[in-house]
Amino acid sequence: VDAAIKLIENPAISIEELMQFIKGPDFPTGGIILGRAGILNAYKTGRGQLKLRANVEIKEKRLIVTEIPYQVNKSLLIEGMADLVRDKRVEGISDIRDESDRKGMRIVIELKSNANPEVVLNQLYKHSQLQTTFGVINLALVAGQPKILVLKSLVNSYIKHRKRIVTRRTQFELSKAEDRAHILEGLKIALSNIDP
């Protein structure tokens, strides 16, 4: 922690150097962030836009989606892809199935025999929610006021907050322990004064 604090407090350290330790956001539904420019912009200015793309594997004449962008509804995604096929905006898809289970997400897109998987995938990225944009705002409460923070300020504020929390918790536990010790001292005196 001390090394991290010294690193953050060093005015000469750049955002790029900090990105060795703080890579980027980790979204709960997975997916892939395209490029580092959006992350870098969010860390430098407090605002940025990330392009998120689904994790898709090409196996034989199938596209297998195992992760989707954050805040994309899976059933609406499948419905939207089916609409694209029905409206002939995306050519080469014969079937779309949801094979998700307890082990994880799995959407299987069956391709026609004459379809090029890369072309179909690029059309899906362009026209469906397999690729989306996610806006980032590094908004935090600092001294009770909402502020948009750059990465260094964000980490500094977090460290100060954690120090306050740990100090307050330790003081509370110390106070409880002192109260308990006072009661035990009283009981010890009372036991020593009891007639046998």
Which amino acid type is present at position 52?
L
169-181 pLDDT, tens per residue? 999 999 999 999 9
Residues 56, 108: Cα–Cα separation, whole Å? 10
The pLDDT score that the predictor gives to residue 61 is: 87
pLDDT along the chain (196 residues), means of 10: 66 75 83 89 91 93 93 93 93 92 92 92 94 92 90 85 93 96 92 80
Residues 56, 11: Cα–Cα separation, whole Å? 41
**What Cα–Cα distance (Å) separates residue 56 from each residue in 17, 52, 62, 72, 118?**
31, 12, 10, 15, 11
Are residues 30 and 55 in contact, defined by beta-carbon separation less than 8 angstroms? yes
101-123 pLDDT, tens per residue? 998 899 999 999 898 999 999 99
What phi and psi, each to the nearest 5 degrees, are found at residue 108? -105, 125
